[in-house]
């Protein structure tokens, strides 16, 4: 999956390496850039009763990625609360100071 606004390399192309949550309205997953190897935590949230959705991407270290990959069940994602992230709403991308650390509807 190509995500042109990510800043890990000149041609970010992500592959999903672990799904943490996948429902009709939310998705949490760990991705790795096939071009440069950088890991990204991806979150998708669709607002009930509308077509609005929000997507976050937060870069994670190799150590954080390994922790997520090795954890059975839900990993501790509190570090995402203050992690610089890309947030896309209605086609507009901006840098934000963090993303949620747990599902909004769960």
Query: 0.85 exceeded by the pTM?
Result: yes
Q: Is a pLDDT exceeding 90 seen at residue 90?
A: no
Mean pLDDT is highest, among 5-19, 34-48, 49-63, for 5-19
Q: What was the pLDDT predicted at 96?
A: 98
Closest to 25 measured CA to CA, from 5, 51, 6: 51
Give the percent of the chain with pLDDT over 90.
83
What pLDDT, in 10s, does the model give residues 17-51? 999 999 988 999 999 999 999 999 999 998 766 66
Taking the CA atoms of 95, 81, 28 and 105 in sequence, report the sign of the dihedral they define.
negative
């Amino acid at each position: 999956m190509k995500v042109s606004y990510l800043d890990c390399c000149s041609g970010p192309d992500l592959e999903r390496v672990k799904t943490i949550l996948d429902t009709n309205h939310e998705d949490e997953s760990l991705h790795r850039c096939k071009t440069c190897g950088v890991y990204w935590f991806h979150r998708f949230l669709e607002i009930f009763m509308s077509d609005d959705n929000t997507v976050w991407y937060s870069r994670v270290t190799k150590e954080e990625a390994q922790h997520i990959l090795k954890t059975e069940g839900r990993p501790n994602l509190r570090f995402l609360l203050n992690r610089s992230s890309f947030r896309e709403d209605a086609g507009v991308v901006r840098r934000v100071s963090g993303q949620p650390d747990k599902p909004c509807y769960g």
